[in-house]
Chain A
Amino acid sequence: MTTTLSAPSQPTRIPRPWDARTQRPAGNRVVKGIIKHAVLLCVLLIMLYPLLWMVGASFRPGNQTFAGLSLFSDTYTLQNYADGWSVGNLNFSKYFVNSAIITIGQIVGNLFACSLTAYAFARLEFPFKRVLFGMVIATMLLPQHVTLIPKYIIFNQMGWVDTYLPLTVPHFFAVDAFFIFLMVQFIRTLPTSLDESARIDGCGHWGIFWRIIMPMSLPAIGTTAMFTFVWAWNDLLGPLLYLPSSDLWTVSLGLNSFLDQTGQSTYGTLFAMATLSLAPIVGFFIASQRLLVEGIATTGLK
């Protein structure tokens, strides 16, 4: 597979005087290619091995969970997955639904509020724009712990503790400044000529936002949705604070509690639930891989 590395990919290149110096024997390059792939594969294997091992262990019978380093086993079982849905007083089917509700709430909120805000900063002129945009940046850098305690106190007084409201409602007010920034950066790169023609055709700002800017901003919207999903799905601190009753728990809280009460015998079940909890992340990632890795990485470079 590595031999193709040496194939010249610029056949039309004009020979330059220094080519003689940089050209090395083809065999040398093949060896280099092999070494490179070997190094990369080794690093990847070490990185991903614990994950693969966990997936393997989740399919082993309970008494073989810790059967050494191997990924494989003589007997496979789905028992851990069957058991996991209700272990003791835990109820993971409920937690997955709860996590999904909160996650969807945050995604909808972020898309709604951050895109509106971003349009204003990217396309409109208004007084104090510089100062206000500076505030967007400042909130991006602000540690969330500064507002953690007062927010808890306020939500507590409003009777919102033990509901999903503290975890979702703020997102409808664009509290994730990072996504405003991301969308502003993206909208800036869109040509304004389309705005102008839409205006001539009688579109107001809402029309331009909804019919022109939003459809063209799909990469930024997708990125925002994906990251909101991952953050909301993984979040532990928020649910830990606001969801004391186990009926409302998220997957993160369920796993954390499971880990506290688990003995060696139930680790298989824990691994099964942990594997399931990571599956949506992997799924979304595969679905939006190109968008994520290529799209975003270059968005800000312009």
Chain B
Amino acid sequence: MTLATATEPPVALPTTPRRGRGRTQLLPALAFLTPWLVGMVLFTFGPMLYSLYLSFTRYDLLSNPEWVGLQNYALMGSDPRFWKSVGVTLTYVVVFVPLLQVVSMLVALLLNSRLRFLTGYRALFYLPSLMGASVAVAALWRQVFGADGLVNAVLGLVGIENVGSWVGDPARALGTIITLNLWAFGSTMIIFLAGLRQVPRELLEAAEVDGASKIRRFFSITLPMMTPLVFFNVLMGTINAFQSFTGAYVVSGGSGGPVDSTLFYTLYLYERGFTQLQMGYASAMAWVLLLVLAVVTGIFFRSSRYWVHYGDES
């Protein structure tokens, strides 16, 4: 999911002024919360526990689940395709997430000035982020980076010939998926742009008077003031990147190919669960993903006190 919402890391709890009569409003609260509470039990916690149980079983939907203990987890350790999918996903996350921040920040900085047609630019840069996860654009990507695609046609214009298909080359296929998802940087950019507008001008002007260069002003004033948004964007970007699916599925025709070079973790999980009907193994994979994401999120929040600055003024 890609979102255009600039939020501080969700730590602050909404506070309600105490009302005169009675401290709590338990009954109305229950009435309003019923759909959500039912949903939590039926569609989140129930299934989570069920999948934890399934991860210790062998289950193919047809016969009853058979308890196998930690076997699925042990099998993962010696499954080369599992490790391949881990490698592909980690490579993707490590390359894509920082690139996404840099590109978004650069474009946001370009747009953060008294610029004509700002609204138009902003809208056009944002638009792809609504389409990046669509099958239509992924299908287009397969053509654009194909052997006779647009990219090679452009390269041909400058005399680079016989480059071959990008999506068909194991060394380059992952790059095309990274480009596809980077293409949708608009939602991240919008958040940075909104943040840049909140950086007090007086501070930047004062630094300019003191002779600080543009680059110095960015790294010493703008960036530190933006760290809450960087935090939010990196966290959400990382969580989403780990779960990336549609682009890789469509571009590789559902196989994660060529030679498993775009075998994202989620693609492999899908293949194990729904093509080979190994629900137990797939559930175990899902829980490993959950644990890894929990650890990553934990590290993020822990580390935030060292590099995220919350200003006093808004």
Please give the residue numbers on chain A whose beta carbons come within 8 Å of chain B beta carbons, in ascending order.
1-2, 4-5, 9, 18, 21-22, 33, 36-37, 39-40, 43-44, 47-51, 53-54, 66, 68-69, 112-113, 116-117, 119-127, 129-130, 132-133, 135, 137, 139-154, 156, 170, 172-175, 178, 180-182, 184-185, 187-188, 192, 204-205, 209, 223, 227, 230-231, 233-234, 236-237, 241, 251-252, 255-256, 259-260, 267, 270-271, 273-275, 277-278, 281-282, 285, 289, 292-293, 296-302
Instruction: Tell me if B227 is interfacial: C-beta within 8 Å of chain A.
Output: no
Please tell me if the beta carbons of A122 and B134 are within 8 angstroms of each other in the complex: no
Residues B150 and A117 in contact, CB atoms below 8 Å apart:
no
Query: For residue A5, which residues in chain B have a CB less than 8 angstroms away from its CB?
Result: 114-116
| Chain A residues whose CB sits within 8 angstroms of the CB of B283 once the complex forms | 149-150
Q: In the complex, which residues of chain B have a beta carbon less than 8 angstroms from the beta carbon of A172?
A: 35, 39
**Using Cβ atoms and an 8 Å threshold, which residues of chain B touch A44?**
121, 124-125
Asked if residues B51 and A237 are in contact (CB atoms below 8 Å), the reply is: no
Nearest CB to that of A300 among chain B residues? B7
**CB-CB < 8 A to A289: which residues of B?**
123
Given contacts A43-B107, A175-B39, A298-B194, contact A142 B51 (CB under 8 A): no
Name the B residues within 8 Å of A234 (CB-CB).
131, 133-135, 246
Q: Which residues of A contact B114 (CB under 8 A)?
A: 5, 9
Q: How far is the CB of A108 from chain B (nearest CB, A)?
A: 13
- Asked whether any CB of chain A lies closer than 8 Å to the CB of B26, the reply is yes
Whether B253 pairs with A127 at a CB distance below 8 angstroms is no
- Extra 14 A-B pairs, beta carbons < 8 Å, given A143-B293, A151-B43, A175-B39: A18-B205, A36-B115, A113-B39, A116-B33, A125-B29, A127-B26, A143-B289, A145-B289, A149-B282, A150-B46, A153-B54, A234-B246, A255-B135, A297-B193
Residues of chain A contacted by B157 (CB below 8 angstroms): 69
**Is A281 touching B134 in the complex (CB atoms < 8 A)?**
yes
Known contacts A174-B39, A227-B3; is-contact A141 B293 (Cβ 8 Å) = yes
Contact B134–A181 (Cβ < 8 Å): no
14 intermolecular pairs with C-beta atoms under 8 Å apart: A21-B209, A44-B125, A47-B183, A51-B131, A117-B36, A124-B28, A126-B29, A185-B7, A237-B245, A281-B131, A285-B123, A293-B190, A296-B4, A299-B6
Given known pairs A69-B154, A123-B16, the reply for A50 and B140 (CB within 8 Å) is: yes
In the assembled complex, B153 has its CB within 8 A of some CB on chain A = yes
Decide if B172 is an interface residue (CB 8 Å cutoff): no
Q: In the complex, A180→B7 CA distance in Å? A: 13
Out of B25, B136, B193, name the residue touching A124 (CB < 8 Å): B25
Contact of A236 among B16, B113, B148, B249 (CB under 8 A): B249
- Residues 122 to 177 of chain B near chain A (Cβ within 8 Å): 122-128, 130-131, 133-137, 139-144, 148, 150, 153-154, 157
Query: With A2-B116, A69-B150, A124-B29 given, is the CB distance from A192 to B36 under 8 Å?
Result: no
B142 (CB) vs chain A CBs: closest residue? A259
B 176-213 to A, binary, CB cutoff 8 A, 1 in contact else 0: 00000001000000110111001000000100110000
* Shortest Cβ gap from A260 to chain B (Å): 6
B221 at the interface (CB under 8 A from A): no
Interface check B8, CB cutoff 8 A: yes
Task: Kindly provide the distance from the CB of B249 to the nearest chain A CB, expressed in whole angstroms.
Answer: 7
B14 and A133: CB pair below 8 A? Answer: yes
Given contacts A36-B115, A112-B35, contact A54 B273 (CB under 8 A): no
Residues A149 and B150 in contact, CB atoms below 8 Å apart: no
Given the complex of chains A and B, what is the CA–CA distance between A188 and B10 in angstroms?
Answer: 14
Size class of B's contact patch? 35 or more
A50 and B10: CB pair below 8 A? no
A129 touches B13 (CB 8 A): yes
A116 touches B110 (CB 8 A): no
Return the CB mask of B45-64 against A: 1 if under 8 Å, else 0: 01110110010000001000
CB-defined contacts of B289 to chain A, threshold 8 Å: 143, 145-146
Chain A residues within an 8 Å CB radius of B4: 292-293, 296-297
Q: Is B230 an interface residue (CB 8 A)?
A: no
Cβ A297 vs Cβ B190 within 8 A: yes
- Partner of B274 from A39, A241, A273 at Cβ < 8 Å: A241
- Chain A residue, CB-CB nearest to B143: A267
Instruction: Give the docked Cα–Cα distance between A145 and B292 (Å).
Output: 13
Across the A-B interface, give the 4 residue pairs with the lowest CB-CB distance, nearest first: A173-B39, A300-B7, A274-B136, A126-B29
Smallest CB–CB gap between A198 and chain B, Å?
Answer: 13
* Distance between B13 CB and nearest chain A CB, rounded to angstroms: 6
The answer on a CB contact under 8 Å between B290 and A178 is no
From 192 to 243 in chain B, residues with beta carbon under 8 angstroms from any chain A beta carbon are: 193-195, 198, 205, 208-209, 239, 242-243
- Chain B: minimal CB distance from A43 (Å): 7
Do the beta carbons of A146 and B139 come within 8 Å of each other?
no
Known A141-B297, A209-B32, A285-B127; contact A192-B17, beta-carbon cutoff 8 A: yes
Given contacts A117-B35, A173-B39, contact A4 B116 (CB under 8 A): yes
In the complex, what's the smallest C-beta–C-beta distance from A137 to chain B, in angstroms? 5
Q: What chain B residues lie within 8 Å of A178 (beta carbons)?
A: 1, 3
Q: Are B140 and A274 in contact (CB under 8 A)?
A: yes
Q: In the complex, are the beta carbons of A182 and B5 less than 8 A apart?
A: yes
Given A154-B50, A281-B134, check contact A139 B250 (CB 8 Å): no
CB distance from B6 to the nearest CB of A (A): 5
List residues of chain B with CB within 8 A of the CB of A282.
127
